Structure 1
Amino acid sequence: MEQPENFSYSGSEVVSEEWWKEFNDPKLNTLIDSALTNNLNLATTWEQFQEAKAIRKRQSTFLLPDIEAQSRAAMSRPEPDFAGGENVQLGVSAAYELDLWGRIRASVQAEDFRMQASYFDYKAAAISLSAEIASTWYELVTATEQLQLVEEQIKTNEDIMKLIRARFGAGTIRAVDILRQEQLLKSTQDLRIIYETDVATLQNQLAILVGKPPQNFSETALDSLPQISQLPETGLPLELVRNRPDVQRQYALLMAADRDMAEAVRNKFPRLSLNLTAQVRSNNFQNLFNEWAYTLAGNLVAPLIYWGRLRAEVDRTEAVKNQQLYQYGQSVLTAFQEVEDALIREQKQKQRIEILAERLELAQKTNKQLQIEFINGLSEYLDVLLSLDQQQQLQRNMLQRKREKVQIRIDLYRALAGGFDTGRSPPVE
């Protein structure tokens, strides 16, 4: 892969690990803090890490000897007629494989890297959760704003309806103009239902994200979107690779695949194991510990003919390693793309908002002028109606564009994000 150049744009503000605090929104902070503790999907990901941690610990025990205790007791009667009496045995045995070629150690290292990958997966899930909550929260804020705006537009359209009905009685307006104004009024009333539905369903979605039943959640949204700060410092591309947990996860999986391949190669070499047994035996309890027997044995096993099975396993693990290598490279490229996309989209979104603001200003001036001309009998009401409809649509579009700008900044923060403290400890071995 080619050496990456610096990103297209960069600011001077350093973003904290808890990136959502850049919005200066206490309600958003509370929602994310609650979700990091109570979200069930995130809790599931944490338990998956705990599973990987236990597997790694289990694998590491193969570097230590296995020690077992054995006991046996029997009694034969009648003793004069049959040999025996009490038959008691106690023993301790230990088995240990010498890791001559590092085969066992390689398997432990593989599980260690998989454990790290699981932890990075948890960190990536926490970042995704925080971004999803921020997106849903500001969608709720926008839907609430849209609902307030539509209520105002409905009031405006009702007032105009009263005005033109009065003028219709005076014979200065056509009946079709009343019907057209009625259509615009019904259209805005339909939008009110849509935004009311959006507000309710987004509240339910937030409730699930923070781990609460929807019927128990009643968080009310703000009345405006936050102000977007200056562009954050993007840093160097290689810093991004080192910080992003999803990229770190892919690297850990690559290293785990490398260790799996090393284990497969070393599995072709001879194995040497030692067995130590200590045992006491007696035909009565009184003489049980009078005599001891010890056995120390060595066992050497070398593979001779496996019909290519071990070589095939090496080839398989090598193919898996190459897959992980390509996936790691792809994750790096995807990380670069996400940052570049967010930077470009933010710059273009600013331009779109500026143009939309100019269009809205022109629409307001046009509508005002047409209303004056209509009152003076210089223009048809259809012109006023079309201008009013366009102005109201542009007002709603402006709120949507501003929300998109906030979403783009969320995407940028997420693309640049490393890890942050979730209240749970990282793996320590």
Structure 2
Amino acid sequence: MEAPIEEPEEFSYSGAEIIPDKWWLSFEDPGLNALVKQGLDENLALAGNWEAFQAALAVVRRESSYLWPAIDATARSAISRPQPDFAGGENLQLGLSASYEVDLWGRIQSGIEAEEFRAQATFYDYQTAAMTLSAEISTTWYQLLTARAQLELANQQIETNEDIMRLIRARFVGGQIRAVDILRQQQLLESTRNQKIQYETQVALFENELSVLLGTPPQNEPAFPQDSLPELPPLPETGLPLELIRRRPDVLQAYNLVLAADRDMAQAIRSKFPRLSLNLQGQMRSNNYNNLFQDWAYTLAGNIVAPLLYAGRLRAEVSRTEALKQRQLYLYGQTVLTAFREVEDALVREIKQKEQLEVLQSRLELAEKTNRQLRLEFLNGITEYLDVLLALDQEQQLQRDILEARQILLEIRISLYRSLAGGFETESPAAP
């Protein structure tokens, strides 16, 4: 069953690296590997998705049971005074009864197949949740590393600004600068200290978020490894769009829901046909235990029920299931289009983010050269300290911007991996 969309062309960009199923291994980051493994093992929301899959399998087993006879056992014991009882019936009864519907037109089988497809869709939903969780852990981990790097940079910049503060105060005593220059430098120093507070806050919040993703209380202060941002791996091979459809778990989930809706419609159609059921009943009756096993009887009956007049109820059910099937087909097509867009978006964003990072690197180099030159001119009394201050502020801001740009580039690559990778094998979450 094809998605109702145009034939897709190849993606705009592609690399040569093959993405492993466990795509986070591409970063070659042992710390990230350990965190993702722990998250897949202990995340509570993912464990809930697994239980939903188990519930769907139980529904399949329940529906499959209708292909087999249903057997019931009955037992009755009563005491009547005076004997014999007023109704003249037996006070002791033992019996077995069995009922079975012959699946002449495959109505029951269609219902079973529908639940099987839904169970498969639930499994792909679990894989999608695992994929999303791995991406969230990776993103949060690199946000934490970036916040730590920003905090370290802020401490270095505070130290630099304090050194400059001591220098210009010494020059102020000699009458070489104005008092306002000291105040401006103090403003820059306080601004950098404020940045430090913000980064300390971010480090704590990212640690809390990562703890919850890993299934641990954030107040338990888990120890996350000290690490630095990795180098960006080579651009992966995007492959053909149709290959993406066959491997992404969210697309496969939508496709299986279409198949389930198709089987629902088939079941509704076959409900309009006659049904054949068989019933077998055997009983032993007596007024005392001694004669209970002497008399017995059985009944075998066959019933054919054919719907004649339901005021359009069955036709309406067929129309309803057909409409739901078409809806699922359109949703499947929309899921496919969204998958294509996510890949294209990630590719474009990565190319442009690399360009932006190159521009930032060039700007930082120019800012460093400008700052050095202005310092020399200031020491020689050629330029005002305000020019030095502005250049220093710009250089420090560019240093922070580059760290943020590197982190965004990693986030974009995570998004690209998540868009291209298929489902990966995971062990069932451990019971709490």
Q: TM-score, normalised by structure 2?
A: 0.95
Question: Pick from 326, 330, 340: which aligns with 2:344?
Answer: 340
What's the counterpart of residue 276 of structure 2?
A: 272
Query: CA–CA distance in 1 between the matches of 2:52 and 2:380?
Result: 74
1:382 aligns with 2:368: no
1:308 aligns with 2:308: no
Question: Pick from 188, 196, 199: which aligns with 2:200?
Answer: 196
Query: Is the 8 Å Cα contact of residues 46 and 130 (structure 2) preserved in structure 1?
Result: yes
Larger mean Cα displacement after TM superposition, 315-324 or 133-142 = 315-324
Distance change >3 Å, CA 369–CA 293, structure 1 → 2 = same
Question: Pick from 379, 393, 418: which aligns with 1:414?
Answer: 418
Query: Is the 8 Å Cα contact of residues 86 and 285 (structure 1) preserved in structure 2?
Result: no
Query: CA–CA distance in 2 between the matches of 1:111 and 1:223?
Result: 47
Q: CA deviation at 1:221?
A: 4.8
Q: Secondary structure at the match of 1:294?
A: strand
1:107 aligns with 2:111: yes
Query: CA–CA distance in 1 between the matches of 2:86 and 2:306?
Result: 47
Question: Pick from 17, 26, 29: which aligns with 2:33?
Answer: 29
Q: CA deviation at 1:78?
A: 4.2
Q: CA deviation at 1:30?
A: 1.0
Q: Percent identity?
A: 62
Q: CA deviation at 1:406?
A: 0.6
The runs of 5 or more residues in structure 2 that have no matched partner are: none
Within a 5 Å distance, the mapping from 1:26-425 to structure 2 comes to: 26-79=30-83, 87-424=91-428
Q: CA deviation at 1:260?
A: 0.8
Distance change >3 Å, CA 165–CA 325, structure 1 → 2 = same
Larger mean Cα displacement after TM superposition, 76-85 or 368-377 = 76-85
Letter in 2 for 1:315: S
Instruction: Write out per-residue CA displacement over residues 40-93 of structure 1, whole angstroms, 9 at most, x where no aligned residue.
Output: 111111111111111111111111111101111223344489796972111111
CA RMSD of aligned residues (A): 1.6
Query: Is the 8 Å Cα contact of residues 158 and 189 (structure 2) preserved in structure 1?
Result: yes
Letter in 1 for 2:25: K
Q: Secondary structure at the match of 1:90?
A: strand
Letter in 1 for 2:92: V
Instruction: Write out per-residue CA displacement over residues 268-316 of structure 1, whole angstroms, 9 at most, x where no aligned residue.
Output: 1111111111111122222222232111111111112211111111111
Q: CA deviation at 1:213?
A: 0.7
Q: Secondary structure at the match of 1:75?
A: coil
Query: CA–CA distance in 2 between the matches of 1:173 and 1:56?
Result: 83
Query: Is the 8 Å Cα contact of residues 25 and 33 (structure 2) preserved in structure 1?
Result: yes
The runs of 5 or more residues in structure 1 that have no matched partner are: none
Query: CA–CA distance in 2 between the matches of 1:80 and 1:115?
Result: 57
Q: CA deviation at 1:420?
A: 1.3
What's the counterpart of residue 18 of structure 1?
A: 22
Query: Is the 8 Å Cα contact of residues 157 and 185 (structure 1) preserved in structure 2?
Result: yes
Query: Is the 8 Å Cα contact of residues 273 and 307 (structure 2) preserved in structure 1?
Result: yes
